[in-house]
Structure 1
Amino acid sequence: MTRTSGVFWNTVGVTYAGTGVQGSALNQLSTPTGIFIDSSDILYINDGGNYRSLKYLPGSTSGILVAGTGVSGSALNQLGLSTRFNYVDSNQNIYISDGSNSRIVRWANGASTGVKVAGAGTSGTSLNQTRTPYGVWVDSSSNVFVSEYTNHRVTRWSPGGTVGVIVAGGNGQVPFLLVGATSDRLSAPSGMFYDETMQDLYIVNAISNIVVKWRVGASNGTVLAGVAGSSGSSSTYLDFPVDLTLDQWNNIYVADRQNLRIQLFCNGSLTGITIAGLGTSGTSLVVPYSVALDSKLNLYVSDNGAARIIKFSKL
């Protein structure tokens, strides 16, 4: 067991989705990437190697196809070679970061095709384009936030808009020699979480090995986890983190990819606690890619290299 702030998790996980063997049947996954759990505890999975998105109803042993055809492509009913993260709104509309197609697509609940809501579909640095989109979040006004991994920025796209507005970063990548000393830039922003009430973006910076909090429109961010410009495996370090989520107390859960673990940083602490993966006596992770919590604070991890989603139960 791992305990923190009165909460316990079982460090021995169970396979919640997928079989652990790469495959294309509806009970299998292939290199899963982003996961999202909605308010009804329905799990949505970007099944990257199968060019599709699945949803798993609570307790189900098989997924339901909700986006994509299973064949890579750029048509609006298809997903490309590198889907990243996802977001599901209160109406179960699905937003998918379709990286190789340089766009965010929205699949209305039950639709057989998507609608482009961010990006021109061509990679670039102009504000009508995205380049390697990773994270996606949607606020209550249907504004779409996109973290652009190789543009080192987060852009906001208004409903129906064709041009994004930079709301974090946008000053280029952190220079290598200054990677630990520059707070006005992002470095390979990946997964993100948006606190709409406070207008704060929580952004994973994969290359600089940190999580930052960035007020929308501010000129600088604040490091909340990791040591900028340094990687390591001790409790204060991260190594190529890729995703995060927050709970209702603003504790931060990080998919610490190269360290093969999930780190919890309690609100206000720069010292992490390993709650799943390497460093515990529980279930090993192969390539932890995405992390999510359900309504009971059970922890779910997209284990990209093991073709499964693992659930670590809160005790």
Structure 2
Amino acid sequence: MRTKRAFLIFTIVVLLVILAVLSSRQWFPRPQEAPYRFILSWGKSGSGPGEFHNPIGIAIAGDRVFVSDAGNHRIQVFDRAGNFLFSFGHQGARLGELGRPMHMEAKGGKLYVADYLNDRVQVFSLDGKPLRTIGSPGSGPGQFDAPSGMAVDDEGLLYVVDFFNHRVQVLDAEGRFIKQFGKTGEKGIWAALFNYPTDVELLPNGRLIVADAYNDRVQVFDPNGKFLHKWGGPFAIDIPGSAPGWFKVATGVAIDRQGSIFVADFYNHRVQKFSSDGTFLVRLGNEGSDPGQLKLPTDMAVDEGGNVYVVDFGNDRIQKFGPPE
């Protein structure tokens, strides 16, 4: 009897050890790539040209870098070395005016801006001319309650993150509602539900990547809206943490040309890079105000050379990192 009991205890211990090892590999992964290198930063707190007050979103079009200077209710435009070129927009609700611009998308010679406080998307030419608005306040199809992020596909379909409605809406190029991801006004931790999502991107294969911010995770859907997978801490069900692959509010997503996914990890003061299947690859930055350090990052953009431009929200600046040489 004692022998059987001892064997049972031994078996349970072995199984627990195996489970712990497997869990450590899944929940505490090691970097798979060499660190990125700091290149340069620009900006400081203020309202003058090249100064920021709570920058949030960033987009690249050609040799220009567009930054949503949310607290100053404007878009500022720079070259890739951080030299100020021009700005457009000011606080207001008329065409061309902005109310806390958030994440953006540059596509087809246009800049699409999530106009958060005005409950709409605004479309500008790349020289800052206002072209049109999309959406109105509300919770119905094609309406928004604080849109926060944007993606546009090659067919002109718009994917708009609807923050307080806990959903992502898909609209045609004219702004007509097609479908949505998530349930209107319903937040939750289970697959395909959201808890204040903030940003969205599209992989080259059409899969949708959503920064499900306050669920501390990323969710992935196929082009038809079918949920595929998610990651961020154990089971990706709103368990925040600072280990690799975990999040404390995932605020922004960006995609490089290889399909790797960069996620702004707000309260962990870092950016994390993943493969398209969610495998952790490497982190960028750590908390601080020195060059190469981050404070509350919100968004990234990646150029064709693999350089990553990070919106350093808490430090009112943009930082540029290069891939390992």
Aligned CA-pair RMSD: 2.3
Contact 1:167/1:216 (<8 A) preserved: no
In structure 2, the CA distance between the partners of 1:269 and 1:88, relative to structure 1 (3 Å rule), is: closer
Percent of aligned positions that are identical: 23
Contact 1:154/1:170 (<8 A) preserved: no
2:7 paired residue number: none
In structure 2, the CA distance between the partners of 1:223 and 1:24, relative to structure 1 (3 Å rule), is: same
Name the aligned partner's letter for residue 182 of structure 2. Answer: G
Contact 1:224/1:268 (<8 A) preserved: no
Contact 1:168/1:217 (<8 A) preserved: no
Residue 246, structure 1, aligned to residue 242, structure 2? no
1:2-43 CA-partner distances (Å, limit 9, x unpaired) = x96666511x4521x31x2x22222212211100112x2421
Residue 189, structure 1, aligned to residue 197, structure 2? yes
Which of 175, 179, 183 is 1:166 aligned to? 179
Q: Which has the higher helix share?
A: 2
- Quote the Cα distance in structure 1 between the aligned partners of 2:34 and 2:66: 25
Residue 90, structure 1, aligned to residue 99, structure 2? no
Unaligned 5+ segments in structure 1 are none
**Across the two proteins, how many residue pairs are aligned to each other?**
292
Matches within 5 A, 1:102-181: 102-116=119-133, 118-120=134-136, 122=137, 124-161=138-175, 163-170=176-183, 172-175=185-188, 179=189
Which of 6, 25, 30 is 2:53 aligned to? 30
Alpha-carbon shift at residue 111 of structure 1 (Å): 5.0
Residue 208, structure 1, aligned to residue 215, structure 2? yes
With the length of structure 2 as denominator, give the TM-score of the two structures.
0.82
- Quote the Cα distance in structure 2 between the aligned partners of 1:208 and 1:255: 14
**What is the DSSP-based 3-state SS (H/G/I as helix, E as strand, rest coil) of the residue aligned with 1:63?**
strand
In structure 2, the CA distance between the partners of 1:269 and 1:215, relative to structure 1 (3 Å rule), is: closer
With the length of structure 1 as denominator, give the TM-score of the two structures.
0.85
**What is the DSSP-based 3-state SS (H/G/I as helix, E as strand, rest coil) of the residue aligned with 2:215?**
coil
Alpha-carbon shift at residue 272 of structure 1 (Å): 5.3
Unaligned 5+ segments in structure 2 are 1-29
Residue 79, structure 1, aligned to residue 98, structure 2? yes
**What is the DSSP-based 3-state SS (H/G/I as helix, E as strand, rest coil) of the residue aligned with 1:207?**
helix
In structure 2, the CA distance between the partners of 1:272 and 1:237, relative to structure 1 (3 Å rule), is: farther
1:14 paired residue number: 40
2:10 paired residue number: none
**What is the DSSP-based 3-state SS (H/G/I as helix, E as strand, rest coil) of the residue aligned with 1:297?**
coil
Contact 1:225/1:236 (<8 A) preserved: yes
- For the pair shown, which has the larger CA radius of gyration, 1 or 2? 2
Contact 1:225/1:265 (<8 A) preserved: no
Name the aligned partner's letter for residue 152 of structure 2. Answer: V
In structure 2, the CA distance between the partners of 1:248 and 1:53, relative to structure 1 (3 Å rule), is: same
Matches within 5 A, 1:256-267: 256-267=265-276
1:38-77 CA-partner distances (Å, limit 9, x unpaired) = 2x24211101121111211233521311x31x3x110112
In structure 2, the CA distance between the partners of 1:128 and 1:250, relative to structure 1 (3 Å rule), is: closer
1:129-150 CA-partner distances (Å, limit 9, x unpaired) = 1111111111222221101111
In structure 2, the CA distance between the partners of 1:210 and 1:131, relative to structure 1 (3 Å rule), is: same
- Quote the Cα distance in structure 1 between the aligned partners of 2:308 and 2:226: 33
